[in-house]
């Protein structure tokens, strides 16, 4: 998983600790793994881009470095309970604040 490898090396260099220790500290304090946090953070960006209505779903998947639009669609449905189209058509499509991501 590209993000995990890049993120782990970045955090190790920044903090001078092994990634496993950083991950454990993060999980204990935030009640979510670093990986899950970044997935949710990325999905909040997807929501923002959908709301802007400047990009189609394929463009959004490319902008956010998903392998393809189907991968994004499956992940979005799994995490939000609705498809990208349902979200786009939903008038109540509110985003979470960054502090609310768990």
Q: 56 and 21, same structural domain? A: no
pLDDT at 79: 93
Confirm whether pTM is higher than 0.95. no
User: Is residue 46 domain-shared with residue 90, that is, in the same domain?
Assistant: yes
Please indicate, yes or no, whether residues 25 and 67 belong to a single structural domain of this protein.
no
Among 5-9, 11-15, 50-54, 59-63, which is the least confidently predicted range?
5-9
Phi, psi angles (nearest 5°) of residue 10: -60, -50
pLDDT tens digits, residue range 30-84? 999 998 998 999 999 999 999 888 999 999 999 999 999 999 999 999 999 999 9
Same structural domain, 21 and 38: no
Using alpha carbons, list the distances in angstroms from residue 40 to 15, 16, 18, 19. 23, 26, 23, 20
User: What is the pLDDT at residue 1?
Assistant: 40
Q: Is the domain of 62 the same as that of 93?
A: yes
- Number of structural domains in the chain: 2
Q: Are residues 24 and 36 in the same domain?
A: no
- Per residue in 84-93, pLDDT (tens digit) is 999 998 855 5
Q: Are residues 43 and 77 in the same domain?
A: yes
**Cα–Cα distance, 9 to 97 (Å, whole number):** 27
């Amino acid at each position: 998983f590209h993000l995990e490898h890049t993120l782990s090396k970045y955090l190790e260099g920044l903090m001078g600790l092994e990634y496993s220790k950083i991950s454990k500290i993060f999980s204990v304090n935030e009640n979510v793994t670093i990986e899950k946090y970044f997935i949710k953070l990325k999905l909040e960006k997807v929501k923002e881009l959908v709301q802007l209505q400047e990009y189609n779903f394929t463009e959004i998947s490319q902008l956010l470095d998903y392998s393809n639009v189907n991968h994004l669609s499956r992940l979005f449905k799994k995490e939000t309970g609705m498809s990208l189209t349902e979200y786009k058509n939903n008038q109540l499509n509110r985003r979470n604040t960054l502090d609310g991501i768990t």
